Amino acid sequence: MATTAEKTKYIETVGRRKTSSARVRLTKNTKDIFEVNGKKLHEYFPTEELRKTIKEPFAKSSLEGAFSVTAKIIGGGIHSQAEALRLGIARGLQKFDGELRKPLKAEGLLTRDPRSKERRKFGLKKARKAPQWSKR
pLDDT average per 10 residues of sequence, the chain (136 residues): 61 94 89 88 94 92 86 95 95 91 92 93 96 92
The pLDDT of residue 69 is: 92
Question: At 80, which amino acid appears?
Answer: S
At residue 81, φ and ψ (nearest 5 deg) are -65, -40
Q: What are the structural domain ranges in the chain?
A: 4-106
Could you say which DSSP state residue 99 is in? G
Q: Are strands 20-28 and 10-17 parallel, antiparallel or unpaired?
A: antiparallel
Determine the pLDDT at residue 4: 54
Backbone angles phi and psi of 32, in degrees to 5: 55, 55
Structure confidence at residue 74 (pLDDT)? 96
CATH architecture of 4-106: 2-Layer Sandwich (3.30)
* CA–CA distance, 17 with 21 (Å, rounded to integer): 7
